Each structure stands twice: as C-alpha cells, then as structure tokens.
Amino acid sequence: METASRFLSYGMIGGSRNSFIGVVQRKAIALDGTAVLKAGCFSRNAETNRQTGEELGLAEERIYGNYREMAEREAGRSDKVDFAVVVTQNASHFEIARTFLQAGFNVSCDKPLTISSVQAEELAALARQKDLLFCVTYTKTGYPLVKQAREMIAHGDIGEVKFVQGEYLQDWLAVAEQKSGDTKLPLWRVDPKQAGESNCLADIGTHLENLVLYMTGLKLRAVCARLDTFGKSGGSLDDNATVLVEYENGARGVYWSSQIAYGNDNALRFRILGSKGSIEWDQENPNSMSVTYFDKPKAIISRGRDALYPLAQSFCRIPAGHPEGTFEAFSNIYKAFTHAILKRKAGEPLTAADMDYPHVEAGVDGVHFVEKCLESTRNGSVWVKF
C-alpha cells in the first residue's frame, strides 16, 4: 500500500491529557507519520483543554473552546485539517460528527457510532451526500491475523461458515465495586445519559458483531439476547450480555460479552466453524491463529513467520516473535483511512483494498445490533428479526 509523499493534518475532539482512548489514538496515528495533529478541543474544562493542547505542541489559536467553534474556524482556514477524530463519550458522538461533516470534514469516530439508529443513519446519509470518508474505529479489524481469517474465509479455505462463537470478557466493573473511589475507572459508561441505553454490549459486544461481519461477510437475520445487570457500580446498564444469533445464510452463533468476569483483563476470542475446517484466535495472543482441517493436524499460523494472504501481510509491521498489539491494530485502521484520504485528495480512484477500514455503515450496523438486542431482552429474550 504505497502513499504519496504528502502529509495529512487532523484535529481531535475529546482525548484530554488524562484520557485513555484519545491518547491511544494519537499515538497510533503517529506510528506511520502520515498525519499530524494540528487542532483540537480536548475537554470541556478550559484549563485541561489548554494544558492538553500546549503539551501536544498546538498553536494557541488552534486550541478551541468547543467543537462548534473548531469546525467553523478550521473550515475557514487555508490549511484546515483533513479529518476530525471524535473520542468523546457516546451520547455526544452524533452532534459532533454531524457538525464536522456539515463543515466538509472527513471524520473518524470511536464506537459505538451513536446511541440510536436514527442518528447513525443520518450520519451515514450525510457522509454519502457530502462525499466524505467516515471511519468508525472498530480496532479489532486492524490485527493482521483477523485480516488473514477474512481472506481465508473469502477464499473458501474452511468452506461454508456454519457456526460462530465469540466472547469478549473483562473484569473492570467487578473491580470497580471494590474501588469505588478510583476516579480513573470510566464509570460514565454505566450512566445512560452519557453512554446510551447499553454499556457492556455497546462497548465491547459490538466488537464481536463487527468482527464476524468483517471476517465472514455474514449478515444478521435475528438475535435472541439477554442483557444482565449483576453489579452494583452505581449504574442501571448491562454489565453482561449473552446473544444467540442467526445469519442470513442459515449459520448460527453465540456472543458472550462481560465486564464482571474476574480473571479476564481484555479477553477477546473467536471460533469460526466451517464445512471444511475451523479458525480460532485470541486477542491476548495476537501473533498466532489456530486452523484445523478435517483431514489434517491442527496448525498454528504465526504472524511474521508464515506467509499470509497479501492484504493481511501488508498490515504486518515487525518481525516474527515480536507481539503486535493494540497500538498497531489502531494504527492499521488509520493506515488505510489516511491512505484513502490522500488518494482522494490527489483525485485518484479508490480500490477495495484502499477502503479496508470500518466505514460508517459498520457503525450503523453496530447500533442496529444493540437496539435489536435491547428489544429482545425487554420482551423476555425472544427472537427479534432485523
């Protein structure tokens, strides 16, 4: 994936000096050196906002007091930023992303895209109307072996997909109950006013939905969900979710996401069972993937040692045995996104390979998934069709 010898600039909304995801995304974008932070509105707290901008080396006039001012003033600059990165709390994504789209900016937004499908669909329609690129940072699709799984399935290596099992387990909310005074824990996620109607499913369960869609191309036909609130962290939103799924091709599956599963830091795993074989991958061991065929011993594919399909290989960064993790996965999302913006600026046509990042439509799918699961739960965990 060759890029022209030009650089992009970007602005960030949210992601102050003490944030998690904003800091991660800035570092990930910097890995390839194709985009430089030039503007930002990092916090509603004026002092924190100023300190963050100064620490990041921004010019004083490009540290903005609010996102509306930022969009308006950047749009009027001859050196305006090429894209805006939204890393605020869930409930604010829609208004911020819409404002920057209306001002003519490409947008990258953290997931979930919005807190309602009506909002999500409006953003998708606006991006199409304005002919702007829109990325939703479903990071897990950036791992080289996730891309390898996608290529293997597309090439028919494991046959027709029959069943999918995915789990994403954390224990931070269980820990939060023991550390009620820990201000570093993102307890806003259990507040409906800031997070929307779902916590666990919207936060990490949507990664499972997106991963399966990305790897298999399968579309959901129906879900049967149970969203639980077991903890006492002060919120009313789910901290555990179990979802049975049916796909349009007749395949079945089950997703389990939990943030109260003691002993699990960030345990994302999937198994994809096909008519000729199966694939298994674990995010906490991202450099290897297990593949089994009916007539062969189980094999371990190693990123860096073994030859991958060309697209997957193009996202590998360092030699075998050196783990590639979250920063690299995030960076791979932005590698594709910024490359597409560079080609668009040069007036060059975009290919399917250029567009290998989560589009706004993936964000729309994630919001629909959450809403259908909520509907199922409220009606006694019945099957709900899409």
Task: Express each pLDDT in 325-336 by its tens digit.
Answer: 999 999 999 999
Coil, strand, or helix at residue 53? helix
Location of structure tokens 């991006």: 127
Residue type, 144: P
Mean pLDDT of 150-167: 98
Specify the higher pLDDT residue, 250 or 235.
Answer: 250
Q: Residue 5's pLDDT is what?
A: 46
pLDDT in tens, 16-30: 998 889 999 999 999
Helix, strand, coil in percent for the chain, rounding step 5: 40, 25, 40
Q: Residue 3's pLDDT is what?
A: 42
pLDDT in tens, 220-234: 999 999 999 997 655
- Dist. CA 60–CA 267, nearest whole Å: 41
Q: How confident is the model at residue 195 (pLDDT cuts 50, 70, 90)?
A: confident
Residue type, 94: F
- Dist. CA 190–CA 379, nearest whole Å: 22
Instruction: Give all domains of the chain, ordered by start, each with its CATH number.
Output: 8-140+331-355 (3.40.50.720), 144-316+365-385 (3.30.360.10)
Provide, rounded to the nearest whole percent, the portion of the chain with pLDDT above 70. 95
Q: Does residue 367 carry a pLDDT above 60?
A: yes
pLDDT in tens, 261-278: 999 999 999 999 999 999
Q: Residue 7's pLDDT is what?
A: 87
What is the β-pairing status of strands 252-258 and 240-247?
antiparallel
Q: Which range among 76-85, 156-165, 187-196 shows the weakest confidence by mean pLDDT?
A: 187-196
Angle at 79 between CA 78 and CA 83, to 5 degrees: 120
- Dist. CA 137–CA 131, nearest whole Å: 19
Q: Residue 2's pLDDT is what?
A: 45
Q: Residue 4's pLDDT is what?
A: 44
Cβ partners under 8 Å of residue 29, min gap 6: 10, 35, 37, 85, 330, 331, 334, 338
- Dist. CA 72–CA 205, nearest whole Å: 35
Q: Residue 191's pLDDT is what?
A: 83
Q: Which range among 141-150, 172-181, 320-329 shows the weakest confidence by mean pLDDT?
A: 172-181
| Average pLDDT value over all residues in the chain | 94
Q: Residue 235's pLDDT is what?
A: 66
pLDDT in tens, 298-319: 999 999 899 999 999 999 998 8
